[in-house]
Structure 1
Amino acid sequence: MQYLFLLLFFLMFQCTQPTLNNPSDIQSDAFKENETLLCLTGQLSACNLPIPVCTECKFYSTSITYVGNRNGITGADAICMSDAKKPPLPSRAVYKAFLVDDVNRIACTTSNCTTGGNSEHKDWILKPNTSYYRAGDSQKFAVTDNFGIFTSQLLDVDVNALSSIHTGLATGGWTTRTNNHCNRWTDGTGTNNSGVAATGASISTSTLGSCNAPSVILCVEQ
């Protein structure tokens, strides 16, 4: 009986998981509290902080130009996240490309989204009732309506006047220009096959441009 008791005691000791609160243990409460404090005081850069959502959102234009082949919408978004002109703050801000096609990113399917409103969007990059600012000088250049589009601009989208910017938009109404989006931004060849904003002062309208002509990408804070 004595040996049985000792055996049970030994097994209980072996199966019990010790509970420690070592600050160097990444699973411990002490470590998590210390990490939070370091993040809040700016002493730790690699923090699992939430991705910010902009309320006064910024536009910038990329530092180099690209023809119509941008590896699709997702490729253009990746360019926006890595370009040298991307504002450094907020450090975890997300930027996406001001481009549309007929499948992956759509602003409106009817003129100015009058039929379906916000339901016409697909992966759209502008927010309803939001002010948009030029990253270069923090000047407000447009305000969106209830459907996340704007019908006029206060200023050029960039500090430096821009022209012939690939967007894929139609002449007006925020719809996608039929078959003129460089094969969903995967083709950098051909002429008269891309919707382009003629000037940075009216980026929601377009003329017909060419996929082989390079232009900046407009990037929008999310």
Structure 2
Amino acid sequence: MTFVQIIDCKTDRLDEMNRLMDRWVEATQGKRTATHSMVGRDRADSTHVVEIVEFPSYEEAMENSKLPETNRIFQELTALCDGEPTFTDVDVLRDEQLNKIVVRRFVDEVIDKGNVNAADELCTADYREHDPGLSTYDADLERSKAENKEIIDAFQPTCTIDTLIAEGDTVCLRMSFRGRHVGAFKGMEPTHRDVSGTGHATFRCEGGKIAESWWNLDDLGLMRQLGVVEV
């Protein structure tokens, strides 16, 4: 179970604290078990600083606390604070990464279910899609829907999400797909051949919707499977 430690302290020496955190990251490289650290300042009280540190489990957090570097940095942190920092130990019961959810819905509803109009809800009005397989590398929402509908109707693909990683407003997708060439595609009549491939996509999210995407699919592999090109 993911474990989070919340450290509350009072200090007006935030710059020194940031430098101290940089030294801790450097000193524990290759040793620490923490996977994510975030420092924030209370808007209502500029001396109230909160650090949130994430670990894969409580047990690994305890291993991290045993590092001599961690103890030394804590002593230096305490010296920067008005009083000793307080700790809150939290077992994470639910972790919703909302940008990943909208990307999963896009894959499920637009690609797997073939409902390209779902993009109206999932994407911003000024959405832009960058895909070398489309007629332009800067397709707006309506053009991307129209051209993607041709692809979906032609191959009726199903997509498997192999990896989905989110950081900030960016979500990266590694996927594999399977389908059958049952409809006209770029002037080619259906071959009824089974096709499969892999691809990567990167999404930029804004306000809970997808604002921009970049796609890289194995188009050459697809053309080989259709018998259009030989390598």
- On whether the aligned pair clears a TM of 0.5, the verdict is no
TM-score range, shorter chain: under 0.3
TM-score (norm 1): 0.25
Larger Rg: 1
